Amino acid sequence: MNFKTLSVHAGHDPQAFLGAVMPPIFQTSTFAFKGVGEPGPYDYSRSGNPTRKALEDCLAALEGGVRGFAFATGMAAETTALMLLNASDRIIVHSDLYGGTYRLLTTVFQSKGIESEFVDLRDRDALKAALRQGAKAVWIETPTNPLMNLVDLQEVASLAKSYGALTICDNTFLSPYFQRPLELGVDIVLHSTTKYINGHSDVVGGALIAKDPELAERIGYLQNALGTCAGPFDCFLVLRGVRSLPVRMEEHNRNSLALAQWLEAHPKVEQVLHPGLESHPQHALALKQQTGFGGTFSFRAQADDAGIKRLLGAVKLWTLAESLGGVESLIEHPATMTHASVPAEVRNQMGITGNLIRLSVGLEDIRDLIADLEQALDQV
Ligand SMILES: *Cc1c(COP(=O)(O)O)cnc(C)c1O
């Protein structure tokens, strides 16, 4: 079946649940045994829950994996994936990525003996050199948050495979509607379902989807052993959100591209970082490995710190908040908000400058979104 059909139906069969068209919320911690040594299909909700299974099966179908796993947050999904590694293992990590991932690797896993080496994965020779020194895994994020740089998934996955390293791709920004890393050779896809998958800014959640049954088995073991799973009510909400993923993504994509084009022509804008623009240095790669550009991008305003503060204080329709991927439009300042956990020196090296602003373009009328940004840019 095709993607839009799977979004609406995958993971749930009404006949298995008394005809309920929507999957019921199994808000139960435990399940009755039929007798000693005779559990039913479920025994305890950390190990498995029917509402969670409906979401997990749906996500596996959308990403083209053998199994999906739902977690309490995106970070819980990341923690579980990193637990596939052992002390003294090395992981190669794209040098430009979500601030929380950077923090988890450098402050939590580093001290447990898992060494991260940050490499610009756009540089094939640098990746090769790092792989030659031995690595268990390669962590990819594309497009990157908030700089919108792309990594060639097919190239990195095949190179990593030739050195026996696993590849994990954070696919939060595009969702499987616009990018399917497993089809390009990646081993594990990760999501913060908090973002586009749920899409309504009312849940925090995460997911992992694996392509190989043996690897899926190991992730399932860790999900149960670590207890990082999502609760049934959150799973119900995320599944409710995912049913409309294709229509939301189409509209996010349309609005964000129109806004990026408008900003690019604005005199107070220095640079727009949007892979759908011809000015983006990796526009060709975006066209090759993505079927759309999503709804989140960044721009640099021609403004000093005070001007940026005035701009962010002047927006009325746009909400100043972290996160992305919801129906409402959000604006944020990476240097002091989402990426404040990255040291200033590293931030500047990456290009997360003080005049960089990230937009999560929602589903409002584009004319209202432009009008509000226009009056805010006038304050700069
Ligand atoms: C938000 C986010 C995460 C972390 O997810 P939480 O649900 O906030 O724990 C990881 N990766 C990316 C790209 C994100 O945007």
User: How many angstroms is it from 159 CA to the middle of ligand 1?
Assistant: 26
Percent of the chain's residues with pLDDT above 90 = 94
Q: Which of 219, 193, 195 is nearest to 206 (CA)?
A: 193
Q: Which of 128, 137, 130 is nearest to 109 (CA)?
A: 137
At residue 344, does pLDDT exceed 90?
no
Tell me what pLDDT residue 363 has: 98
Mean pLDDT value across residues 118-138 = 97
Q: Which atom belonging to ligand 1 lies closest to the Cα atom of 97?
A: 13
Catalytic (active-site) positions: 46, 98, 170, 195
Same domain assignment for residues 175 and 116: yes
* Cβ-based neighbour number of residue 21 at 10 Å: 7
Please name the residue whose Cα sits nearest to atom 1 of ligand 1: 192
pLDDT in tens, 227-265: 999 999 999 999 999 999 999 999 999 999 999 999 999
Tell me what pLDDT residue 99 has: 85
pLDDT in tens, 12-48: 999 999 999 999 999 999 999 999 999 999 999 999 9
Tell me what pLDDT residue 376 has: 97
User: How many angstroms is it from 205 CA to the middle of ligand 1?
Assistant: 9
Cis peptide before 143 (omega within 30 of 0): yes
Tell me what pLDDT residue 76 has: 98
Q: Which atom belonging to ligand 1 lies closest to the Cα atom of 194?
A: 7
Q: Which atom belonging to ligand 1 lies closest to the Cα atom of 77?
A: 9
At residue 350, does pLDDT exceed 90?
no
CB of 233 within 8 A of CB of 263?
no
Last residue of a domain, one of 242, 276, 309: 242
Confidence band of 60 (pLDDT split at 50, 70, 90): very high
How many distinct structural domains can be found in the chain?
Answer: 2
In terms of DSSP bridges, do strands 206-210 and 188-192 run parallel, antiparallel, or are they unpaired? antiparallel
Same domain assignment for residues 10 and 91: yes
Alpha carbons 27 and 61: distance in angstroms, whole number: 24
Q: Which domain holds residue 197?
A: 3-242
User: How many angstroms is it from 317 CA to the middle of ligand 1?
Assistant: 24
Same domain assignment for residues 256 and 186: no
Same domain assignment for residues 198 and 250: no
Last residue of a domain, one of 217, 242, 267: 242
At residue 339, does pLDDT exceed 90?
no
At residue 284, does pLDDT exceed 90?
yes
Alpha carbons 290 and 103: distance in angstroms, whole number: 28
Q: Which atom belonging to ligand 1 lies closest to the Cα atom of 206?
A: 7
Give the H/E segment covering residue 260: helix 245-264
**Sheet containing strand 296-301, strands side by side:** 269-273, 296-301, 356-360, 330-332, 319-320
pLDDT in tens, 199-230: 999 999 999 999 999 999 999 999 999 999 99
Under 8 Å CB-to-CB from 359, ≥6 apart: which residues? 256, 259, 296, 297, 298, 299, 318, 329, 330, 331
Alpha carbons 76 and 73: distance in angstroms, whole number: 5
User: How many angstroms is it from 339 CA to the middle of ligand 1?
Assistant: 12
227: CATH: 3.40.640.10
Q: Which atom belonging to ligand 1 lies closest to the Cα atom of 75?
A: 9
Give buried/exposed letters for 239-258 (b at 16+ CB in 10 A, else e): bbbbbebbebbebbbbbbbe
Same domain assignment for residues 224 and 250: no
Same domain assignment for residues 342 and 206: no
CB of 296 within 8 A of CB of 141?
no
Q: Which of 293, 377, 365, 287 is nearest to 331 (CA)?
A: 377
Residues with CB under 6 A from ligand 1: 73-75, 98, 100-101, 141, 145, 170, 172, 192, 194-195, 204, 206
At residue 291, does pLDDT exceed 90?
yes
Mean pLDDT value across residues 301-313 = 96
Same domain assignment for residues 113 and 222: yes
Instruction: For the chain, state the CA radius of gyration.
Output: 21
Same domain assignment for residues 49 and 184: yes
User: How many angstroms is it from 197 CA to the middle of ligand 1?
Assistant: 12
91 phi/psi in degrees, rounded to 5:
-125, 135
Same domain assignment for residues 318 and 190: no
Last residue of a domain, one of 213, 242, 271: 242
Tell me what pLDDT residue 341 has: 78
User: At 356, which amino acid appears?
Assistant: L
Confidence band of 343 (pLDDT split at 50, 70, 90): confident
CB of 235 within 8 A of CB of 51?
yes
281: CATH: 3.90.1150.10
Please name the residue whose Cα sits nearest to atom 4 of ligand 1: 74
Mean pLDDT value across residues 75-104 = 95
Same domain assignment for residues 277 and 366: yes
Same domain assignment for residues 235 and 280: no
Tell me what pLDDT residue 340 has: 86
Tell me what pLDDT residue 348 has: 87
Instruction: Give the three-class secondary structure for 190.
Output: strand
Round the average pLDDT of the chain to a whole number and report it: 96
Same domain assignment for residues 252 and 226: no
User: How many angstroms is it from 35 CA to the middle of ligand 1?
Assistant: 42
At residue 145, does pLDDT exceed 90?
no
Instruction: Give the three-class secondary structure for 146.
Output: coil
By most ligand atoms within 8 Å of CB, the mutation choice from 79, 94, 191, 195 for ligand 1 is 195
45 phi/psi in degrees, rounded to 5:
-70, -20
Tell me what pLDDT residue 346 has: 84
User: How many angstroms is it from 181 CA to the middle of ligand 1?
Assistant: 17
Please name the residue whose Cα sits nearest to atom 2 of ligand 1: 192
In terms of phi and psi (left: phi > 0; alpha: psi -120 to 50; beta: otherwise), the region of 96 is: beta
Please name the residue whose Cα sits nearest to atom 6 of ligand 1: 74
Tell me what pLDDT residue 338 has: 84
Please name the residue whose Cα sits nearest to atom 7 of ligand 1: 74
